[in-house]
Structure 1
Amino acid sequence: MKLSLSHFKRYKEIAFLLWKYGRSDLVKNMEFDEPYDPEKEGKKIGDVTPDQLADDLEAMGPTYIKIGQVLAGRPDLLPAPYLKALERLQDKITPFPYEEVEKIVANELGVRISKAFSRFDVTPLAAASLGQVHAAALRDGREVVVKIQRPGIRAQIAEDFEVLGEIASFLDNHTAAGKRYRFATVLEEFRIAIQQELNYENEAQNLITVGKNLKEFALITVPQPVIDYSTRSVLTMDYVQGQKITSISPLARIDIDGALMVEELFKAYLKQVLVDGIFHADPHPGNVFLTGDNRIALLDLGMVGHTGPGMQEHLLKLLIAVSEGKGEEAAETVIRMSEKLPTFDAPEFRRKISQLVAIRRDQGLEQIKVGQSLLDVSTNARDNGLFVPSELTLLGKTLLQLDEVGRILDPEFDPNASIRRNVTDMMTRRMKKDLTQGSAFSSLLELKDFTTQLPGRLNRIMDAVTNSEVEVKVKAVDAKLMLDGMQKIANRITTGLMLASLIIGAALMMRIETRFHLFGYPGIAIVCFLLAAAGAFWLLINIFLHDQSNKDTK
């Protein structure tokens, strides 16, 4: 792998990170424009703690902080201590100076902060990898929060993804894990998601869309944006007064109906995924607030997932199968929705999924995690030669985070039971959505065409049958290859019959005395025997060589 000099420093940092965490085998395969050996530069590998991983990712910049945030919600990829350490990357990032905030707001909105807002807090409420949030108030007194993007972050992330893209392609081409997991494809999906998240106009539209879709849920609220004060790098939206779900005290839990709230939250997410086709994909506890009027507020809709009608059907079937403990049905659904690799082992996959679902079904309420089950299904699919859609992994991560929120509000919450309670309603909603006015008119037009053209089509078919004009064409797959194989079989059978005829004829001619003798026997009979022996030997050699060549090509 030849690495460009312009990105040499970044490559060194990534290479050292791989080396530090036990993947020196990957570093050795990289050819730098300059010699690179971490040990010669004074780097020491020691007892690496989970906190050091979080520190390393934070030091490498926003792109790697975002990777750490994603990894924090993936227990199928990292052990629990690392997940805990990476959680701090979700909302405990060093903010950038207020002077930069003033410049960005002025450039984006076209006016100074003092002109646009009656109040703007200098100290941010929170700082994240891509931006930070400040409390403010509009001129009409409306309380808002302003999300400002970090300066120069787009160029930095673009450069980081260029470096990561080259490394991902190298891993895909030179490692077994790369061929199985397709790092380049996963990285490209992640890059697109980051680009969407960097455009705050998209997030503003997500807030409007999801807020409208969840309007029927009285216990759930989504802050709405102030469009006139929002641009690609600045997002102004309603200020949600409340506290994080994780900071709720035991005394405060007494005053809320946690069971009702988590049931409505889970139902709202099922509706987003299985009916609306757009869902809040990052509901970690830092993005879920309990408001002062005892409602759940969903924050940070920069990352959303999308599901099309076909994928919704598959996900609905999979959720039902997992919740009811039907491993065989779950396995078949995953097979249908995934891409099969040459190494796919169907029997082993079905066995593992059936075993996994059975184990989950027999666990107690405190251990049931439907999100974890979906992630485990995805992991087993990849290990057995299936490339699962990214929607399944994203849904598993989302439901796993939702499980954590649900346990805080109601420790006795059973997500599997919730799926079974709400699945009928979700199916009804999907049917109603499919039966829109437009789809009904389309179906009526197709029915009209069918009924008006049916008599003429039947007449043409009957005339063709009467006049013996009906032809049946059969298109065989690999017909030439099949015919060649049949011809080879026929040739071998014919050769065998001819050799058998020579042997039988020679045996009969042994009793006829002739002047010509060979080895003391009638010569013609011995010649026939020799010809039959030579032919048999040639046929055996030919069969052996052909079978051996077939083995070598497999």
Structure 2
Amino acid sequence: MPLHLQRQREIVEILTRNGFGVLATASGLASRWPSSRIVHALTPVEYRIDPALRSPTIVRRTLEELGPTFIKLGQILSTRADLVPPAFQAELAKLRTAVPPEDFASIRATVEAELGAPLAEIFATFEERPLGSASIGQTHAATFVDGRAVVVKVMRTGVEEALRTDIDILRGLVGQVQRRWAQARTLDLLGFVDEFDRQIAGELDYTREGHNAERIAANFAHRPGLRVPHIYWEASTSRVLTMERLDGVAIDDVAALDAAGIDRVALGKRAATFILDMVLIDGFFHGDPHPGNLLVAPDGEIQLLDYGMVGSLSEHHRRQLVTLVGAFAARDAEKLSDAVLALAPPLGRVDRPALDRALGHLIAEYSDKPLAEVPVVPVFNELLEILRTQRLKPPPELSMVVKMLTMVDGLGRVLDPGFDMMGLLRPYGVKLLRQRLEPDAVLRTLLSLASEGSALGAEFPEQVRRLLRRYETEGVHIGVDDRSLAPAIQHLDALGDRLVAGMLLASLINAVGALGATDRNWLSRARGPLLAAGATAALGLGGFLLDSLRRRR
């Protein structure tokens, strides 16, 4: 891996300045600077944690100072209740990626280099002032020479190299942390960095964003009411994306919606239904449906923008998510536990009674409310906190789904104070069942079963031969988890100690008696010392036995 020494030094200086010097050294980032190693070596082990790590505000400000990569990292962590406590989630959600725009000369140079022609040959107009500016790119209003209104998204100069450098450093930092701290290994932080890397890679390739938009447009081709901007591939590359310009009012601009005569209650239900259909029916969804990415046309059509962040959910996870909602709605704690374990397998041994109790308390907390009044987002956030404390590992996409539900629920309540998210969620069990019973879905299932059955039939004889060979060479070994036997083993140890002490005491008495019986003259001479030694030994052993018996009670 490249060393990136200059950037490492910058990160160490920022961490140290904000109170994270121990983290910088323990992670290996500061190991090239002797003064940091000396401070770390002189710090007692019990104090080798930065107090700043306990402050959500300081963590957020530090991430902002570290730059775009770490800001994006913090934004993703703000949705990961399985990794981050609630107080940190709330603080990290305040992170923003808005940055000053890049100078227009650089933007022009990028567009012309990518499209292979002067700006004036492709666009009749190209606004120098951007519509929006973020850490990876910025958007400009433009018009093709034939009059079509478009928006052009242009990647910042040098952003790819900067992000790749930070991710390389981040991967090395997390690797060091996992090697030093066992708890970090149980959280699979390297897996999280890999997931973050994949997301950034997607955002650094605008052709992926264009294909994401086309995929969602195709999924909704027969469901009217949602508009996805058309992608103009003749003026798009991996670093420039040109799309149809849509005009509408922001979906949370209540005054403008009322002035246009748009039914806000119906609008809220349609917007939520579109998002839920993406998640639970299509399994491919927009990952950032905040109000800035949702416009409303004069006829009430919803326009969805920005497809840089998307998520996917497998059919299995969609079924389990709907089952989970159904179990909560039915107030069935046992079924809810089953659904949770199917959706989020345990990292180690699961304490099922503790999980049942936690989920039972969650159900009881809302049992006095009608389902229409149950707040979906707090329920899901509490559920994710239970998964974290019970060391269950949900699919990473689940956090994005909860983030989407949070956005949709908040938007729905802005448009309609009586918005009922739970009422919209409940019918999806039937929708999924209908989807599974469609001829194409049944045929796919049958083909999958046939393929699996064929593979199993072909592999079975070889698997049996391997099992028999292993039995012949190694025999049968039975593994026992000694943690469940620990109390019995401790009891046997104590019982053994008492038996040994009793035997020693009896042997001492017997030895003295035997010596006295065989040599009475010796006994008369040694009576004093023997009595003293015997009394001391008897008192000691007797005291041990009494104490052992007392502790046993």
- Both structures adopt the same fold (TM-score exceeding 0.5): yes
Residue of structure 2 in register with 1:29 after alignment: 26
Cross-structure match for 1:420:
426
Residue identity opposite 2:8 in structure 1: F
Per-residue CA distance 1:113-157 (angstroms, 9 max, x = gap)? 211111111100011121111111112211111111111111111
Tell me how far apart the structure 2 counterparts of residues 322 and 69 of structure 1 sit (CA, whole Å): 29
Read off the aligned partner of 1:130 and give its amino acid letter: I
Computed over aligned residues only, the root mean square deviation of the Cα atoms, in angstroms, reads 4.0
Measured after TM superposition, the shift of residue 186 of structure 1 is 0.9
CA gap of 1:377–1:86, structure 2 versus 1, over 3 A, is closer
CA shift in 2, pair 1:283/1:78, >3 Å:
farther
Which AA in structure 2 matches 1:406? G
5 Å-filtered alignment, 1:173-322, equals 173-175=179-181, 177-249=183-255, 252=258, 255-322=261-328
The C-alpha deviation readout for 1:207-242, integer Å capped at 9, x for no partner, is 011012123443322212111111101111111212
C-alpha distance 232-357 of structure 1, shift in aligned 2 (>3 A): farther
How far does the alpha carbon of each residue in 1:21-46 deviate from its partner, in whole angstroms, 9 at most, with x for none? xx6653452452114569x9xxxx99
For 1:28 and 1:185, the matched residues in 2 are separated by 23
Q: Does 1:435 align with 2:441?
A: yes
Alignment counterpart, residue 119 of structure 1, candidates 118, 125, 139: 125
Any unmatched runs of 5+ in structure 1? Answer: 450-472, 486-518, 521-554
Change (3 A) 1:436 1:224: farther
Partner of 1:456: none
Partner of 2:476: 480
Structure 1 residue 63: deviation in Å? 0.9
Q: Does 1:407 align with 2:403?
A: no
Report how far residue 84 of structure 1 moved. 7.1
Shift of residue 305, structure 1, vs aligned partner: 0.8
The alpha carbon displacement at 1:192 in A equals 0.4
Q: Which runs of 5+ in 2 are unaligned?
A: 40-50, 455-467, 482-516, 519-553
The question of 1:395 aligning with 2:391 is answered no
Q: What TM-score does the superposition give when structure 1 sets the normalisation length?
A: 0.71
Summarize the Cα distance change of 1:131–1:51 in structure 2 as closer, same or farther, 3 Å threshold.
farther
The residue type paired with residue 173 of structure 1 is R
Report the CA distance between 1:250 and its aligned residue.
Answer: 7.4
**3-state SS of the aligned residue for 1:481?**
coil
Question: 1:51 and 1:483, CA in 2 relative to 1: closer, same or farther beyond 3 A?
Answer: closer
Choose which of 56, 67, 70 in structure 2 pairs with 1:64.
70
TM-score between the two structures when normalised by the length of structure 2 = 0.71
Q: Which amino acid aligns with 1:26?
A: L
Matched with 2:99 is 93
Distance 2:78 2:259 in 1: 26
**Separation of aligned partners in 2, 1:220 and 1:357:** 35
Q: Does 1:128 align with 2:134?
A: yes
Q: Secondary structure at the match of 1:289?
A: strand
Structure 1 pair 98–191 and aligned structure 2 pair: CA distance change class (3 A): same
Determine whether 1:110 maps to 2:116: yes
In 2, Cα distance between the equivalents of 1:136 and 1:72?
A: 35
1:393 and 1:282 mapped to 2: Cα distance?
12
Cross-structure match for 1:349? 355
Higher RCO, Cα 8 Å, sep 6+:
2
1:4, 1:97 → 2: CA distance?
27
Q: Kindly state the Cα deviation for residue 51 of structure 1 after the two structures are TM-superposed.
A: 7.8
Write the deviation string for residues 170-196 of structure 1: whole angstroms up to 9, x where unpaired: 232333541332211111101101101
Question: 1:97: Cα distance to partner?
Answer: 1.0
Q: 1:367 to 1:234 in 2, by over 3 A?
A: farther
Cα deviation 1:408-435 (Å, max 9, x = unaligned): 2222111111111343223312432753
Q: Which of 329, 338, 358 does residue 332 from structure 1 map onto? A: 338
Offset of 1:200 from its aligned partner? 0.7
Change (3 A) 1:266 1:190: same
SS at match of 1:339: coil
| Aligned-partner Cα distance in 2 for 1:252–1:419 | 27
Distance 1:366 1:123 in 2: 46
Residue in 2 aligned with 1:490?
A: none
SS at match of 1:373: helix
- Relative to structure 1, the CA distance from residue 437 to residue 364 in structure 2 (aligned partners, 3 Å threshold; closer, same or farther) is closer
Give the C-alpha shift of residue 378 in structure 1: 2.7
In the aligned structure 2, how far is the partner of 1:301 from the partner of 1:404? 21
> Is the Cα contact below 8 Å between 1:204 and 1:225 reproduced in 2?
yes
Alpha-carbon contact 1:343-1:384 (below 8 Å) kept: no
Moved more, 379-388 or 429-438: 429-438
8 Å contact from structure 2 (residues 206, 239) kept in 1: yes
- Relative distance call for 1:372 and 1:188 in structure 2 (3 A) is farther
How many angstroms apart in 1 are the aligned matches of 2:387 and 2:451? Answer: 42
Cα distance, 1:382 vs structure 2: 2.5
Q: Distance in 2 between matches of 1:391 and 1:433?
A: 28
Is 1:378–1:392's contact at 8 Å kept on the other side of the alignment?
no
Over 3 Å counting, the alpha-carbon distance change for 1:412 and 1:132 in structure 2 is same
Which residue is equivalent to 2:15? 15
| CA–CA separation in structure 1 for the residues paired with 2:91 and 2:299 | 30
Distance verdict in 2 for CA 1:27–1:411, change over 3 Å: same
**What letter matches 2:110 in structure 1?**
I
Q: Secondary structure at the match of 1:386?
A: coil
> Aligned with 2:96: secondary structure?
helix
Separation in structure 2 between the aligned mates of residue 377 and residue 481 of structure 1, nearest angstrom: 40
- How do 1:156-175 residues align onto structure 2 when only pairs under 5 Å count? 156-175=162-181
Q: Do the aligned partners of 1:62 and 1:129 also contact (CA within 8 Å) in 2? A: yes
Q: Counterparts of 1:221 and 1:120 in 2: how far apart (Å)?
A: 24
2:96 maps to a residue whose letter is L
Task: Report the CA distance shift for 1:87/1:414 in structure 2 as closer, same or farther (over 3 A).
Answer: same
| Distance (Å, rounded) in 1 between the aligned partners of 2:431 and 2:348 | 39
